[in-house]
């Protein structure tokens, strides 16, 4: 049986390329439709998505199964239409059509096409229970069921060596950080103060999960520069993250992963790290994965003082678990005093 996978691979979102790595770990001979060269650490043959869309009537009959494979594929009105068009054409040629391990957040951007799409696929699996609820309650798709994210299929072994200080890996995904100076200041101050409170106790580094070179809104790189400046260099920038393998290394070498990205949570679980989600209340995708992994989020909508206090307390709990492993740990009174000084 010949399969072709269609997804968000090769666009610079390393989460999508992680998904592809998970797919290829199970199905190495499958054909791949990608937006550009997938950053999976090796040369990967692919069909460019625009070419596949334009020549679908010639290319689709070469396969027996079309799979929309993993991730948040409902990102725009037009892309939902494109998936529906490919699915209908595949059906007309007698192919089996599947949606595997997807998140349904964004389906409302084209409700009619989304409903049609999920009803005609032969298999619909979703990566978390929030999407399952949407599939059954809103899209009337009773045959949907949960199947964990493709990244869960990767066999990952920690190669991180012993460090003098624990490390906090940070990520900011919100596009408001770029366009809203007030929000930028809100977030930058929070991270700068946290890095100040635990200065000398923890190392801090920014980890980009998106390295889009053509879409500023989806590019994490500038956010790292802003946090470096706001923290007077305490939050260093992981500019070595250029693909999936270097992203895995950056997450593996962190003890706490603090921020927004969906696959931040998945990798924290895979490597046995602490995930601490700091997100918008309306970021339903990130809320869903936090709930799935029983990690209570902290919301940007709270006051700076409340956010900093919540994060401080969780970091203190983590440090408390390290007693005996690290020679000098600050007392809770000491970090609370630092927090009070920082916010006064």
Q: How many structural domains comprise the chain?
A: 2
Distance CA 56, CA 60 (A): 5
Q: Are residues 80 and 11 located together in one domain of the fold?
A: yes
Among 1, 19, 27, 197, which residue's Cα sits nearest to residue 101?
19
Does the residue 263 lie in any domain?
yes
Full residue range of the structural domain in which residue 207 is found:
167-343
Read off the DSSP letter of residue 125. E
- For helices 111-120 and 77-92, give the axis angle rounded to 10 degrees: 30
Each residue's pLDDT tens digit, 285-310: 888 888 888 788 999 999 999 999 99
Q: Do 200 and 328 touch, CB atoms closer than 8 A?
A: no
Q: At which residue do the structure tokens 């949606």 appear? A: 99
Does the residue 207 lie in any domain?
yes
Q: Are residues 146 and 172 located together in one domain of the fold?
A: no
Does the residue 159 lie in any domain?
no
b/e sequence 105-118, b meaning 16+ C-beta within 10 Å: bbbeebeebbbbbb
Distance CA 85, CA 97 (A): 12
The pLDDT assigned to 328 comes to 52
The pLDDT assigned to 214 comes to 65
Q: Are residues 137 and 205 located together in one domain of the fold?
A: no
Distance CA 56, CA 49 (A): 10
Q: Which of 153, 183, 218 delimits the end of a domain? A: 153
Does the residue 161 lie in any domain?
no
Q: Are residues 314 and 232 located together in one domain of the fold?
A: yes
Q: Do 4 and 27 touch, CB atoms closer than 8 A?
A: no
Does the residue 158 lie in any domain?
no
Q: Which of 95, 118, 153 delimits the end of a domain? A: 153
Q: Do 179 and 236 touch, CB atoms closer than 8 A?
A: no
The residues, ordered by sequence, that sit 6+ positions from 142 with a Cβ below 8 Å of its Cβ are 136
Q: Are residues 72 and 218 located together in one domain of the fold?
A: no
Q: Do 277 and 259 touch, CB atoms closer than 8 A?
A: yes
Does the residue 294 lie in any domain?
yes
The CATH number given to whatever domain includes residue 97 is 3.40.50.2000
Q: How many CA atoms lie within 13 A of 187 on its CB side?
A: 28
Q: Are residues 60 and 20 located together in one domain of the fold?
A: yes
Each residue's pLDDT tens digit, 2-31: 999 999 999 989 999 999 999 999 999 999
What residue ranges of the chain have pLDDT lower than 50? Answer: 327
Query: Cβ of 301: how many Cβ atoms within 10 Å?
Result: 12
Q: What's CA 66's distance to the chain center, in Å?
A: 24
Does the residue 289 lie in any domain?
yes
Q: How many CA atoms lie within 13 A of 214 on its CB side?
A: 5
Q: Are residues 94 and 211 located together in one domain of the fold?
A: no
- What are the two backbone dihedrals, phi and then psi, of residue 151, each rounded to the nearest 5 degrees? -65, -25
Which two three-digit tokens encode residue 213?
Answer: 């070179």
Does the residue 162 lie in any domain?
no
Q: Are residues 141 and 199 located together in one domain of the fold?
A: no
The pLDDT assigned to 327 comes to 44
Q: Are residues 12 and 132 located together in one domain of the fold?
A: yes
The CATH number given to whatever domain includes residue 278 is 3.40.50
Q: Which of 105, 122, 153 delimits the end of a domain? A: 153
Q: Are residues 236 and 280 located together in one domain of the fold?
A: yes
Q: Do 323 and 329 touch, CB atoms closer than 8 A?
A: yes
């Amino acid at each position: 049986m010949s399969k072709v996978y269609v997804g968000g691979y090769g666009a610079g979102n390393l989460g999508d390329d992680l998904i592809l790595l998970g797919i290829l770990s199970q199905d190495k001979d499958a054909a791949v439709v990608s937006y550009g060269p997938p950053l999976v650490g090796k040369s990967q043959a692919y069909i460019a998505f625009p070419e596949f869309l334009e020549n679908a009537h010639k290319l689709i009959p070469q396969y027996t199964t079309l799979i929309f494979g993993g991730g948040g594929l409902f990102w725009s009105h037009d892309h939902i239409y494109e998936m529906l068009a490919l699915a209908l054409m595949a059906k007309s040629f007698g192919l089996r059509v599947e949606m595997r391990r997807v998140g349904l957040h964004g389906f409302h951007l084209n409700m009619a096409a989304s409903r049609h799409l999920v009803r005609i696929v032969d298999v619909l699996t979703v990566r978390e229970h929030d999407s399952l609820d949407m599939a059954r309650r809103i899209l009337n798709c009773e045959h949907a069921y949960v199947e964990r994210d493709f990244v869960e299929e990767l066999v990952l072994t920690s190669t991180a060596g012993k460090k003098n200080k624990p490390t906090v890996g940070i990520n900011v995904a919100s596009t408001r950080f770029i366009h809203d100076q007030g929000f930028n200041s809100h977030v930058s101050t929070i991270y700068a103060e946290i890095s100040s409170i635990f200065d000398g106790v923890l190392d801090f580094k920014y980890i980009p999960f998106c390295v889009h070179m053509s879409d500023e809104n989806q590019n994490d790189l500038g956010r790292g520069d802003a946090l470096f400046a706001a923290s007077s260099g305490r939050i260093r920038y992981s500019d070595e993250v250029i693909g999936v393998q270097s992203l895995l290394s950056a997450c593996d070498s962190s003890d706490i992963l603090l921020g927004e990205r969906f696959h931040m949570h998945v990798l924290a679980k895979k490597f046995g790290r602490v995930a601490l989600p700091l997100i918008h209340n309306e970021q339903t995708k990130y809320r869903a994965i936090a709930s799935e992994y029983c990690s209570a989020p902290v919301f940007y909508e709270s006051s700076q003082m409340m956010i900093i206090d919540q994060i401080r307390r969780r970091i203190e709990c983590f440090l408390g678990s390290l007693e005996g492993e690290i020679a000098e740990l600050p007392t809770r009174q000491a970090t609370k005093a630092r927090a009070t000084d920082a916010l006064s």
